[in-house]
Amino acid sequence: MVIDLKRCVGCNACTVACKSENGTPPNIFFTKVFEQVAGQYPIVKKKFIPVLCNHCLDAPCVRVCPTGATHKREDGIVLVDYDKCIGCKACVVACPYNNRTLMPKEKLKEGHFKGYLTSYELTKYKKFQEGVVVKCTFCYERVEQGQEPSCVNTCPAEARVFGDLHDPESKVSRLIRQRGGMQPMSEANTDPSVYYLE
């Protein structure tokens, strides 16, 4: 994925789309948008920085997982097998980007909420398990159907571009070459699959 910071307007449509697609419980986000303010009055500039799991090619979360729950598919997408995850949080500690969340106990139960769960929540929550680590999946179900991740599909400013990094003629590869795409925290040596354009 390539994220064009010049195009991002901080509308959080990606955050809402991700929430809707994945049906995550309150306070659990797979993608967020941070704000950064630079300069001094009266010349001040605001920049928006969307963040998500970087699906690193050399993912430390995969290396440290004691059960093999965190694994990488052939296409590079890093996923968590909830049936294998024991909630030890080794991957949470290993991730230099802080993009993993432990699903707290009791989080998915009806009694946890003041009121009731909607039919939408009851349906979406079924795929989650308590006490395991959750994260962005690059909407792999959509990708398998030839669609883009929900955050990419929804972005009104077209600040996100999704494609094959290994294809030198793909739009993402061309953008990275032409505009000098940068990986977040390259000093961590994780080789992220998410690039930023400034």
Residues 136-170: tens digit of each pLDDT:
999 999 999 999 999 999 999 999 999 999 999 99
Q: What is the CA radius of gyration of the chain?
A: 18
Range of the domain at 44: 2-197
| pLDDT > 70? residue 113 | no
At residue 37, the pLDDT reads 93
Tell me the CATH number at 20: 3.30.70.20
> What pLDDT was estimated at residue 76?
94
Per the structure, how many domains does the chain have?
A: 1
Contact status, residue 33 vs residue 47, Cβ threshold 8 Å:
no
> Does the pLDDT at position 175 exceed 90?
yes
Residue 141: count other Cβ atoms within 10 Å of its Cβ.
Answer: 11
For residue 114, the model assigns a pLDDT of 55
CB burial class (10 A; 0-12, 13-18, 19+) of residue 10? middle
- Angstrom distance (rounded) from CA 4 to CA 1: 10
pTM of the model: 0.91
Q: Is 85 within 8 Å of 132 (Cβ atoms)?
A: yes
Cα–Cα distance for residue pair 81/133, rounded to 1 Å:
9
Q: What is the DSSP string of 88-127?
A: --HHHHH-TT---EE--TTTTSGGGSSS---HHHHHHHTT
Mean pLDDT, range 11-22, rounded to an integer: 96
Q: What is the pLDDT of residues 53-84, one digit of tens each?
A: 999 999 999 999 999 999 999 999 999 999 99
